[in-house]
Every structure is written in C-alpha cells, then in structure tokens.
Amino acid sequence: MSTQTARQHITLSTLNKIRAAGQKFACLTAYDACFTSLMNEASVEVILVGDSLGMVLQGHDSTLPVTMADMVYHTQCVKRANSSSFIMTDMPFMSYSTDKDALENAAALMRAGAGMVKLEGGAWLESSTRLLAERGIPVCVHMGLTPQSINRIGGYLVQGRDPVQAENMVREAVLLQEAGASILLLECVPTALATRITETLNIPVIGIGAGPHTTGQVLVMHDLLGISPIKPKFVKNFLPESDNGIAGAIKAYADAVKNGSFPAPEHCFD
Ligand code: KIV
C-alpha cells in the first residue's frame, strides 16, 4: 500500500469553492513531466502550460513564435505526469483569431490533456469565449498586459493606470464572464484595479503583478527559481528560502500564496 496520502484532484469546482471560502490558490507554469510531479507534491492547484515556453525553453524574445504543435506536445508531457493539479494551456498567437480556429485549436489542446484553455484579449473574445464554453471547453481570459500583443502595446508595461482604460477593463471583464469565461487572469495591473475586478466578478481571478487580493497567483517557474535573465518587479526567487532545493522552492511559493505573504508590497503596482 502506498505510504503517500492521496491528493485531491483539483477541478474548476474546487477552485470555485476556494474562492467562495475566501481562500487562495497557487498556479505555476510547467512544461514537462518532472516539474509537474514536483508541483503535484507541493499541492500547486493549477499548472499553466504557458506559451512563456517560447522564451524560457526555446530562447525566443517573445511568445509569438510558439506553435500549436509546441503547445500540444508540452500539454501531453504535463498530462502524462499529472496526478492532481488542474491543467490550463495557453492558446498560442493567432490560434484563436477566428471562432473556427479557436474551436478547432482549443479542441486539440483539450485532447492533449488540458482541462481549460487560456486566450489573451478583451471584448473581441466575446464570441469565441461563448462558443468554446457552450461546447464544454472551459475558458480563462488573460487581460491587462497580454504578451502576444507586445508589438501593439509597445513594451512590457503596466496596464489600466489610465482611468478610461481601467473602466474599459472592468467592463470587458464583466462581458467575458457573462460570455462564459470560467477564470480571468490579470497581468501587470495596479492592485486597486485588480482588487475591484476580483470583487466585481463571481469567478476566480488569477493575478501576476496584480496585487495580493486576487483569488490565485501565478508565476513562471523559471522566475520563481531565479534563473530567468529578466526579473520583473512582480517576481520573487523562492530558492533561497528552500531547504529542499527546487521542490522546496515550489512548496515555499505555494505556501506563501495560500497564507497571503506573497505577493508582498514590493511585488505590486500602484
Ligand atoms: O505564458 C505564461 O506563462 C503566462 C503567464 C505569464 C501568466 O501566460
């Protein structure tokens, strides 16, 4: 008989219950089997197969070159090892620019093992979000700083500081929730705005550089281990806090998210 305690398999309903209880959940990127097992061990609730793999694994200077084949392959790698976390997979650049593409490509990612797909954008995603949700594919919409639009945005800049832009973000978040989004992810948004959106919606909100009041937090794993060449303000290296190498750093991150000590004020934007 196994000496390990069986962990609960996390579903969307678990994440909604965590939100309803006023608690927090941890999300981290993983792209392979080995790190997936460590995240399961550390009780990381959500694994994001992020298109950040284009930068941290493939060495590109943005996420734009990442393909559907890349995302299917890495989702399969994560799925094979996963025993308990909820798997969310990014739809890569231009894979959801029409409703038809969104449906076909999201279906391919779900077949590869995703439990949810993530799309970057705002109001223009309304019809594809509705289409996917109605056909049984859970959708996370990524708003704020959306790295696939980096050429239009003009840099990795905080979004929503301008009052008009902030009002638009709240309105679009509500619209996408009504269209069927099950999770919203906010990147590089002032704490006050992210808090307002979290309190306005009735779905979980995951933040990265969005302050301490969102339901969940996400980091790119390489950032958490301090091995990324770029160190944005919202990143913390958890390796120095670990007495058990990488496994300990992942656990320290998951614990810090759940007890509310991460992100600290120095990781947040006004
Ligand atoms: O691709 C990714 O890792 C992401 C996170 C930065 C949220 O989308």
Instruction: Strands of the chain (E only): list them.
Output: 25-29, 46-49, 86-90, 116-120, 139-144, 183-187, 205-208, 216-219
Ligand 1: distance of its center to the CA of 2 in Å?
A: 35
Are the beta carbons of 33 and 49 closer than 8 angstroms? no
Question: 48, 51, 205: which to mutate for ligand 1, most atoms within 8 A of CB?
Answer: 48
- Joined tokens for residue 51: 């298109």
Per-residue confidence (pLDDT) for residue 2, from 0 to 100? 44
- Residue 68 backbone dihedrals phi, psi, to 5 degrees: -60, -40
Active-site residue, selected from the candidate residues 172, 187, 199, 266: 187
Q: Print pLDDT tens along the chain (270 aa).
A: 344 567 899 999 999 999 999 999 999 999 999 999 999 999 999 999 999 999 999 999 999 999 999 999 999 999 999 999 999 999 999 999 999 999 999 999 999 999 999 999 999 999 999 999 999 999 999 999 999 999 999 999 999 999 999 999 999 999 999 999 999 999 999 999 999 999 999 999 999 999 999 999 999 999 999 999 888 999 999 999 999 999 999 999 999 999 999 999 999 999
Compute the distance between CA of residue 154 and CA of residue 41 in angstroms, rounded to an integer: 39
Question: 46, 49, 52: which to mutate for ligand 1, most atoms within 8 A of CB?
Answer: 52
C-alpha dihedral, 200 to 120 to 68 to 139, nearest 10°: 20
The minimum-distance atom of ligand 1 relative to the CA of 147 is 8
Question: Residue 167 catalytic?
Answer: no
- Nearest residue by C-alpha to atom 4 in ligand 1: 50
| Alpha-carbon 212 to chain mean position | 15
How open is the CA angle 224-118-126, to the nearest 5 degrees? Answer: 145
Are the beta carbons of 86 and 108 closer than 8 angstroms? no
Per-residue confidence (pLDDT) for residue 6, from 0 to 100? 75
Q: Residue 198: CA atoms inside 13 Å, Cβ hemisphere, count? A: 28
Ligand 1: distance of its center to the CA of 230 in Å?
A: 14
Considering only CA atoms, which of 209, 163, 202 is closest in space to residue 186? 209
Question: 218, 234, 267: which to mutate for ligand 1, most atoms within 8 A of CB?
Answer: 218
- Joined tokens for residue 119: 């799309």
The minimum-distance atom of ligand 1 relative to the CA of 206 is 7
Number of other residues whose CB lies within 10 A of the CB of residue 73: 14
- Residue 20 backbone dihedrals phi, psi, to 5 degrees: -60, -30
Ligand 1: distance of its center to the CA of 217 in Å?
A: 11
Per-residue confidence (pLDDT) for residue 229, from 0 to 100? 84
Question: Where does ligand 1 bind, in terms of residues with CB under 6 Å?
Answer: 29, 48, 50-52, 90, 142, 185, 187, 208, 218, 220
Compute the distance between CA of residue 134 and CA of residue 209 in angstroms, rounded to an integer: 31
Per-residue confidence (pLDDT) for residue 220, from 0 to 100? 98
The minimum-distance atom of ligand 1 relative to the CA of 185 is 7
Compute the distance between CA of residue 167 and CA of residue 192 in angstroms, rounded to an integer: 12
Are the beta carbons of 183 and 190 closer than 8 angstroms? no
Ligand 1: distance of its center to the CA of 3 in Å?
A: 35
